[in-house]
């Protein structure tokens, strides 16, 4: 359809402005039917996480080892013949020949059993904290993927809305160029068509990003084929590969907002006071406690190991045809105690204790390293959030409005023969880029909040069932 020429440009301006207004009104809509919210995605991902299932099995294994460590070693039973004559192998030929049955019991050194049981119990106590930390990390990961899908989807929507406007600009340029009274040059027509082609390329890139992020998100949302999650008795088969996210951004509450006041930078000691209850740190605390029990267990090697044994020896009576000897032969009972003497300790026991102490100190350094990394990461994300807040305020208060006014002014100038067509195109591109930049800022801000909230995760944040 051929659009009106230069004499009817006020009508063109009105149509284009209406198209722009409609595009802006369509930026915010209602969630599509079946769209998945961020909360739903996090809940499903946590329920379908096989790592959590494996952690529960690992805890059960070490708890079973703890129970076994508290038991005495099995007694040893011995059965045999003693002092058989080698000429005849007759059981009643010699008086010392006997059938012996014995039993022995070993007792571990000192309090080794109780300490080993305590050490394994403390090691098992770290797994619930590890699962809480895992759930917090899964929530951050799912939030990043969900928001990336949302970013790509909304960017596509913004460009699709403006693509119709650029198609109208191309039609206007063609109409004006084909009209003798028009001021549109061939290069203006080529520029309009070029920008439309570049929009098509941006759409292709965004579709690719959305598909990649959606596939990564679906990896967390889909249960393994043919398997049941322990938290999903109904055996959910998985989520569709074309899962869609809600069309509105979620409201993610920022924990401890007082830490993000401009001009009031928290000290590392203040940040560490919040992090001491983090599941990752509590898990390392349990490992440190277990290593202390390991030191005490190593010190038990200085104590002797005792064992007791008892045996009964049965002897056959004298042969009846030997009147010179009494017919009865007494049976034998034996009882004894054995213990070792740890006298040469410099090469063994001392080294074992030193090894246990060094291992405990290594875990302590692991804890301080984790705290230092978390403090540094928090400070980085905090600075990022403050800058994103500044940019968001700038875009909402001035930049978006100014970009829109510039686009309208350039269109007005062109329709009144006081502007250049390329300025109209450039202004519309700048306005579109500004809206996409504003979207990027909001998405990056929510991703940063999600990452910051991870540092303040606690075990009480995750009730039974693994949802947050």
Which pLDDT does position 434 carry in this prediction? Answer: 93
**Is it the case that residue 367 has pLDDT exceeding 60?**
yes
Residue whose pair of structure tokens reads 């509450």 in the numeric block: 253
Please give the average per-residue pLDDT across 39-53, as a whole number: 92
- pLDDT tier at 299, thresholds 50, 70, 90: very high
Do 329 and 395 reside in the same domain of the chain?
A: no
Within-domain flag for 135: yes
- pLDDT tier at 178, thresholds 50, 70, 90: low
What distance in Å separates the CA atoms of residue 416 and residue 410, rounded to the nearest whole number? 10
Given 289, 322, 339, which residue is the final one in a domain? 339
Please give the average per-residue pLDDT across 294-312, as a whole number: 92
Within-domain flag for 467: no
Within-domain flag for 1: no
Least confident stretch, 21-30, 189-198, 297-306: 21-30
- pLDDT tier at 28, thresholds 50, 70, 90: very low
Within-domain flag for 187: yes
Do 319 and 389 reside in the same domain of the chain?
A: no
Do 174 and 219 reside in the same domain of the chain?
A: yes
Residue of 115 and 23 predicted with greater confidence: 115
Within-domain flag for 219: yes
Please give the average per-residue pLDDT across 48-57, as a whole number: 93
Do 206 and 312 reside in the same domain of the chain?
A: no
Task: Supply the DSSP symbol for 49.
Answer: -
Domain span holding position 357:
6-72+108-305+340-461
Which pLDDT does position 18 carry in this prediction? Answer: 42
Which pLDDT does position 16 carry in this prediction? Answer: 40
Within-domain flag for 52: yes
Which pLDDT does position 25 carry in this prediction? Answer: 37
Within-domain flag for 293: yes
**Is it the case that residue 298 has pLDDT exceeding 50?**
yes
Do 67 and 12 reside in the same domain of the chain?
A: yes
Rounded to the nearest integer, the mean pLDDT of the chain is 82
- Burial-class residue 442 by CB neighbours within 10 Å (0-12, 13-18, 19+): buried
Do 390 and 409 reside in the same domain of the chain?
A: yes
What distance in Å separates the CA atoms of residue 18 and residue 23, rounded to the nearest whole number? 8
Which pLDDT does position 122 carry in this prediction? Answer: 94
Given 321, 339, 357, which residue is the final one in a domain? 339
pLDDT tens per residue across span 198-254: 888 989 999 999 999 999 999 898 876 555 444 443 334 445 556 678 888 999 999
Do 19 and 156 reside in the same domain of the chain?
A: yes
Do 178 and 133 reside in the same domain of the chain?
A: yes
User: Which contacts of 388-392 are long-range, i.e. CB under 8 A and separated by 24 or more positions?
Assistant: 388/441, 388/444, 388/445, 388/448, 389/445, 391/441, 392/438, 392/441, 392/442, 392/445
What distance in Å separates the CA atoms of residue 290 and residue 118, rounded to the nearest whole number? 8
- pLDDT tier at 27, thresholds 50, 70, 90: very low
Please give the average per-residue pLDDT across 358-379, as a whole number: 95
CATH code of the domain covering residue 451: 1.20.1600.10
Least confident stretch, 178-182, 419-423, 434-438, 443-447: 178-182
Do 169 and 211 reside in the same domain of the chain?
A: yes
Within-domain flag for 468: no
Do 83 and 113 reside in the same domain of the chain?
A: no
In this structure, what token pair is assigned to residue 319?
């042969």
In this structure, what token pair is assigned to residue 448?
């940063």
Residues 6+ apart with CB under 8 A from 58: 127
Strand order of the β-sheet with 76-82 is 76-82, 98-107, 306-314, 332-339
Do 297 and 356 reside in the same domain of the chain?
A: yes
- pLDDT tier at 44, thresholds 50, 70, 90: very high
Do 314 and 387 reside in the same domain of the chain?
A: no
Residue 126: strand pairing partners:
none
**Is it the case that residue 56 has pLDDT exceeding 60?**
yes
In this structure, what token pair is assigned to residue 292?
């202390």
Which pLDDT does position 198 carry in this prediction? Answer: 85
Is the model's pTM score more than 0.75?
yes
Domain count, the chain: 2
Given 339, 359, 382, which residue is the final one in a domain? 339
């Amino acid at each position: 359809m051929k659009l009106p020429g230069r004499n009817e440009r006020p009508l063109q301006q009105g149509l284009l402005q209406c198209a722009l207004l409609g595009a802006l009104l369509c930026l915010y809509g209602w969630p599509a039917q079946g769209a998945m919210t961020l909360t739903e995605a996090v809940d499903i991902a946590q329920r379908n996480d096989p790592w959590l299932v494996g952690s529960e099995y690992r805890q059960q294994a070490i708890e079973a080892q703890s129970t076994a460590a508290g038991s005495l070693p099995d007694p040893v039973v011995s059965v045999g013949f003693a002092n058989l004559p080698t000429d005849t192998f007759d059981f009643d030929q010699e008086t010392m020949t006997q059938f012996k049955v014995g039993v022995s019991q070993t007792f571990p050194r000192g309090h080794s059993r109780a300490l080993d049981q305590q050490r394994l119990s403390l090691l098992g106590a770290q797994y619930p904290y590890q699962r809480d930390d895992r759930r917090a990390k899964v929530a951050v990961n799912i939030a990043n993927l969900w928001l990336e899908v949302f970013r790509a989807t909304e960017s596509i929507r913004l460009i699709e809305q403006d693509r119709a406007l650029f198609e109208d600009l191309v039609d206007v340029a063609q109409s004006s160029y084909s009209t003798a009274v028009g001021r549109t040059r061939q290069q203006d027509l080529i520029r309009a068509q070029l920008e439309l082609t570049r929009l098509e390329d941006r759409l292709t890139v965004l579709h690719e990003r959305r598909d990649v992020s959606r596939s990564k998100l679906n990896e967390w949302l889909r249960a393994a084929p043919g398997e049941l999650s322990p938290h999903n008795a109904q055996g959910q088969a998985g989520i569709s590969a074309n899962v869609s996210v809600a069309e509105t951004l979620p409201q993610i509450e920022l924990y401890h907002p007082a830490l993000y006041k401009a001009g009031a930078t928290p000290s590392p000691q203040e940040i560490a006071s919040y992090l001491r209850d983090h599941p990752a740190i509590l898990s390392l605390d349990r490992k440190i406690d277990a290593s202390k029990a390991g030191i005490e267990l190593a010190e038990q090697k200085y104590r002797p190991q005792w064992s007791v044994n008892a045996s009964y020896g049965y002897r056959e009576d004298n042969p009846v045809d030997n009147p010179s000897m009494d017919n009865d032969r007494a049976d034998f009972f034996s009882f004894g105690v054995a213990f070792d003497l740890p006298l040469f300790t410099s090469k063994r026991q001392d080294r074992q204790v030193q090894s246990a102490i060094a291992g405990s100190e290594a875990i302590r350094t692991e804890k301080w390293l984790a705290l230092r990394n978390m403090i540094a990461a928090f400070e980085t994300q905090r600075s990022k959030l403050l800058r994103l807040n500044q940019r968001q305020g700038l875009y909402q208060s001035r930049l978006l409005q100014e970009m829109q006014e510039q686009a309208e002014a350039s269109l007005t100038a062109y329709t009144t023969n006081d502007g250049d067509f390329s300025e109209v195109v450039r202004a519309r591109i700048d306005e579109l880029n500004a809206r996409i930049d504003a979207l990027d800022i909001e998405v990056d801000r929510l991703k940063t909040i999600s990452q910051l909230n991870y540092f303040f995760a606690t075990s009480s944040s995750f009730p039974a069932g693994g949802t947050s």
